[in-house]
Structure 1
Amino acid sequence: MRNRTTTMALAGMVAAALALSGCASAGDDATEVTEGASGTTESTGTEEATSTDESQGDDTAEGEYDERDVRGQSPETDHEQAVSAAVEAAGGGIVYEIELDHSDDAGEWVYEVSVLDGTTDHDITLSAASGEVLEHERDDEDDSEREVTFDDMTPAEALELAAAEVGADTVLEGWTLSWDDGRLHYDIDTDADDDDDLEVWVDDSSVTRD
């Protein structure tokens, strides 16, 4: 009888120990799950906040200008790359005029670049998005032309001067860089009611109405 009692007592102690072990294990698992859930929640919240901030920043940048305004465009092909691409397409020569505006025919923003290669005049239209040559026309040309450069004034600087002249509400629809009577100038197209375009003169940064 005494041995039986001892055996039952030992069995009870073992069962109690196993129960305590199970509780401890369950507690650890619960702690791990809680910590994992907490970590997931924190990470997701941070990512969502960052994504929202970036999205709002993009919307602000896109909404700063009218969609017709050249200042609101960030073409994959910039003006320097357009010059290089046009000269390559022409097989050499100099660029004496370059324009950036929106083409209704192409349905996108395009560069129209004039290149003189010897006695051949090339009129080349490039996609501002891809740099692809969309159109290439050739004509014989006996006259000489003078090369345009962006060294003394960039298109962005010319547009800033033009905007100061006409006011912030006027849409600037495009620009053209060329020579006129020995002076390098930007011709800026606007949507102004008087239909006046602006001429921004590179040599003295003056702005006149055409």
Structure 2
Amino acid sequence: MATDPALAGSDADAADLRQAWKAAAAGDIDAVVEACVRTGLIDDGRYVEAKAASGRRRGWSARRIAATLKAHGVDDGLVRAGLDAEDDEAEIAAAMRLIVRRRIGPAARPGSVRDRHKDLATVMRGGFSGAVARQALERVSKERQADDEAEPGDDADETATSAPGDDGAPDDAGARRDGRRQGRGPSQRW
């Protein structure tokens, strides 16, 4: 094992030895990182793009993505360049994913009553601007209305096509119309 020339022939304690080895290892680490960057194994630009795409799929705002990348030590210029390439539509789409994932606003469970201001505040706490939050809530609402209009939820059609003698019981024993099974309490639904 090679020793540090500064420590050779001197009385050194364990702390001095650790310090010398850390300094030597730091140079080795920097050399390995530089070699990986040079050969293309590591590319911070690709890393920013991948993290931004992943964050968008999760419903993260540009602010949250930038904060996460900065916390990982990515250069501020690369973060700005990677996120500036995206447009406002990407931000609105991410806010819509957040709304659906968190089940707020028009994506809330049937029967739940929420205040629009609370929904707006929830989206804004996710890092989105007020304008983006409003647009996303409106778009999700329009999509939900279009889906509801497209569904044939007419009960008259179901009774007209039922077989004679059918008592209206569901085909799946124990299933209910809302998808839950009978006999389960509130704590056992999920």
What is the TM-score normalised by the length of structure 1? 0.25
The structure where strand makes up a greater share of residues is 1
- TM-score, normalised to structure 2's length? 0.27
Structure with higher Rg: it is 1
Q: Tell me which of the two structures has the higher relative contact order, counting C-alpha pairs closer than 8 angstroms and 6 or more residues apart.
A: 2
